[in-house]
Amino acid sequence: MHRRRYALLAVSAITALTITTMATAGALAPTAHTRTTKPVTIAQPAMAAASYVIPAPGVGGINLTTQAVSNEIEVTRHNQEVAAALTALVQARFDQATAEAVAAVQTPMWSCIRSAESNDQYSLISGAYGILISTWWAFQSVWAPLGNWSTPGEAPPAVQDLVAYHLYQVGGGFGGWHNRCTGIN
């Protein structure tokens, strides 16, 4: 919803600037095809609070001031800064989670599971941990912010470690992996 508002304001601002430029250059002259609902007030470029009425089909016009445009541009800039900060925060959290997972899967139990499931080959379709494709996609929220891989074997080893460690955490242990390692029937 906000994107549409910003897009409309951006189009309005561009139209207002075009009208100002054309009026200043003397190129704006009424024609038989020009439809205005209110008179267009065009200020000289030096005036800070110029007001424009821009015709909009079915709306009757949008009253636009240079201060409103300036405020919207500042809000947009602020929103972009907030989005960039949130993106950096999310990336830092995923980097931290990946580092924790890589460290956690360095135990003999995890080594046994990788050996039993894939002979320690991360490049197999089901990856080093024998993760089913359906499970891979069911837990897409774990790895999707890091990239786009259709199978576990396409993902880098660190991402496979992250998903395996997540499955271990949410699944309550090693129950889904090879019996030889876990001793679970």
Quick check: is 85 in a domain? no
In a domain, 93, yes or no: no
Same domain? 116 vs 171? yes
The distance in angstroms from the start CA to the end CA of the chain is 53
Positive or negative: CA dihedral 47, 53, 56, 61? positive
Number of domains in the chain: 2
Residue 18 lies in a domain: yes
In a domain, 94, yes or no: no
Domain residues for the domain of 58 are: 2-76
pLDDT at 64: 57
Q: Ramachandran region of residue 26, left (φ > 0), alpha (ψ -120 to 50) or beta?
A: left
Q: In terms of domains, do 109 and 177 share one? A: yes
Q: Does 87 reside within a domain?
A: no
Instruction: Give backbone dihedrals phi and psi of 154, rounded to 5 degrees, phi first.
Output: -80, -20
Count other C-beta atoms under 10 Å from residue 68's C-beta: 18
pLDDT at 141: 87
In a domain, 53, yes or no: yes
Whether residues 118 and 168 share a domain: the answer is yes
pLDDT at 97: 85
| Residue 17 shares a structural domain with residue 57 | yes
pLDDT on residue 65:
64
pLDDT at 34: 47
Considering the domain architecture, whether residues 14 and 55 belong to the same structural domain is answered as yes
In a domain, 83, yes or no: no
* pLDDT by residue, tens only, the chain of 185 residues: 445 555 544 555 555 545 544 444 444 444 444 444 455 444 444 444 554 544 545 545 555 566 666 667 777 777 888 888 888 888 888 888 889 999 999 999 999 999 999 999 999 999 999 999 999 999 998 888 888 999 999 999 999 999 999 999 888 788 888 778 877 76
Residues 110 and 48 in one domain: no
Question: Does residue 100 belong to any structural domain of this protein?
Answer: no
* 69, 109: one domain: no
Task: Pick the last residue of a domain from 57, 76, 95.
Answer: 76
Phi, psi of 90 (to 5 degrees): -65, -45
**What is the per-residue pLDDT for 185?**
60
123 and 175 together in one domain: yes
**Are both 68 and 20 inside the same structural domain?**
yes
